[in-house]
Amino acid sequence: MQPLAERLRPTTLDEYIGQQHLVGPNGVFRRFMETGNVPSFILWGPPGVGKTTLARIVANELQRPFYTLSAVSAGVKDVREAIDSARKQKFFNTPSPFLFIDEIHRFNKSQQDSLLGAVEQGVITLIGATTENPSFEVISPLLSRCQVYVLQPMNDAELQTLLDRAVTTDNELKKRGVEIVETEALFRFSGGDARKLLNIIDILAATTDGKIVISDSAVTDALQQNIALYDKNGEQHYDVISAFIKSVRGSDPNAAVYYLARMLAGGEEPRFIARRLAILAAEDIGLANPNALLMANAAFDIVHKIGMPEARIVLSEATVYLANSPKSNASYMAIERAMGLVNNDTANRPVPLHIRNAPTQLMKDLDYHKGYKYAHDFEGGFADLEFMPAGLEGTRLYEPNLDNPTEAKFAERIKKLWRGKY
């Protein structure tokens, strides 16, 4: 028997539950149906919110060929074969066939590159589905040719609509009969994931005889052996990694190691955790303990080399070290202020002539490099020289954390060298 999620898969936009900002009366997907003009696009959202279903509905309602690949198992050869098949399906001015790639973020650069020509030439209309931010996971040339639509987890009202539809329209459930006593646990375990909600009902059906009773206790009892503490593809992925990072930032090694264990027990990719620790070392510890970044980088390298299960030991050591390190975000705030200044400064300020290179005689004649002072020629390796562009002299972007001994020394040095300029 098909799973309930497959039996209830919607086939039209009117049957589709949720994502009203996309499929509602004024949604962009309604316009797709009306005009038939569909650009290549990427659907970004958590699991179980209808990315694959929405892609199939578009193809079905527009009656266009629909090719599908999973980035988990497909290679460049599979992509090329799908594109060749799509090319054979396209005649004269007919619309392009759809090529749907599930988990497109798992494609490497060469695999994504292999799509570019076909998308540019209109051989295919690409539809990608991803649970990861496409800004980081999809190459820029491909991303620039696609619209990105964000799908949200289902809210309780939408989950209730789905539950009502399942109970009233599915033949198998109607045969058994369903009694809904309470839904709090059902909705909580579903976490906004429609597929998970329907799978839970399947589990209840498989573990009971006769009428299916949906209650908090029935759901909890049935799921004790079926739901992991951590779902690396679901909502808890974001909750637990957030708790992990905040525990390290908050200098609580016990909570940090606990959340580390939650992630590892749930099958999280160790390299993802190591990458986040490297970011944290620079963002939250910084110059308060420069060795933190070295530790995080070493952990990142070792985790790549050895993998699990031994990687857990390396991650634990790095986690405990970073949690116990003094904290400073001064370097992070400095680049944030600098980026804000640059992004909002329309002056395109020229670099001062005296700190420009002068590799040609013409440049020397134009006073490039004139007046530059080589720091090592001066006492203490410091020459009083202006480095900021005109109009930004004395602009202070780096604010040392004076509570930290290392950065307090930096502040004292800056004060001594620049005599109050910064």
CATH code of the domain covering residue 176: 1.10.8.60
Whether 2 maps to a domain, the answer reads no
- Residues 146, 23 share a domain: yes
Give the ranges where 326-404 is alpha helix by DSSP (H): 330-344, 361-365
Strands, E, within 74-146: which ranges? 98-102, 125-130
pLDDT at 267: 72
User: Which tens digit of pLDDT belongs to each residue from 179-237?
Assistant: 999 998 898 888 788 988 998 898 888 888 889 999 988 888 887 654 444 455 554 66
- Residues 319, 377 share a domain: no
Letter for the amino acid at 287? Answer: L
- Within a 13 Å sphere around the CA of 188, how many CA atoms are in the beta-carbon half? 10
- The Cα 166–Cα 106 span in angstroms is 33
User: Which tens digit of pLDDT belongs to each residue from 64-123?
Assistant: 889 988 887 777 888 888 888 888 877 667 788 899 998 888 888 888 888 888 898 888
- Residues 343, 272 share a domain: no
pLDDT at 232: 52
- Return the biggest CA–CA distance within the chain: 94
Find where tokens 């007919």 sit: 94
Coil, strand or helix: which one is 335? Answer: helix
Whether 9 maps to a domain, the answer reads no
**Residue at which a domain ends, from 126, 150, 174:** 150
Q: Are strands 178-180 and 147-150 parallel, antiparallel or unpaired?
A: unpaired
- The Cα 117–Cα 114 span in angstroms is 7
Whether 371 maps to a domain, the answer reads yes
Contact 150, 160 (CB under 8 A): no
Q: Which of 194, 191, 139, 324 is nearest to 250 (CA)?
A: 324
Q: Which of 310, 186, 236 is nearest to 47 (CA)?
A: 236
pLDDT at 229: 43
Whether 143 maps to a domain, the answer reads yes
- Residues 175, 126 share a domain: no
Whether 6 maps to a domain, the answer reads no
Determine whether 209 is exposed, middle or buried from the number of CB atoms within 10 Å of its CB (0-12, 13-18, 19+): exposed
- Residues 261, 195 share a domain: no
Whether 228 maps to a domain, the answer reads no
- Residues 133, 113 share a domain: yes
What CATH number corresponds to the domain at position 123? 3.40.50.300
Whether 14 maps to a domain, the answer reads no
pLDDT at 306: 86
pLDDT at 52: 92
What CATH number corresponds to the domain at position 403? 1.10.3710
| Number of DSSP helices (H) and strands (E) in the chain, helices first | 21, 7
Whether 10 maps to a domain, the answer reads no
Write out residues in the chain with pLDDT < 70, as ranges: 91-92, 224-238, 346
Number of domains, the chain: 4
- Residues 188, 126 share a domain: no
**Residue at which a domain ends, from 131, 150, 169:** 150
The number of residues in the chain equals: 422
- Residues 197, 137 share a domain: no
**What global pTM score does this model have?**
0.55
- Residues 302, 281 share a domain: yes
Report the percentage of the chain scoring pLDDT > 70. Answer: 95
Range of the domain at 161: 156-223
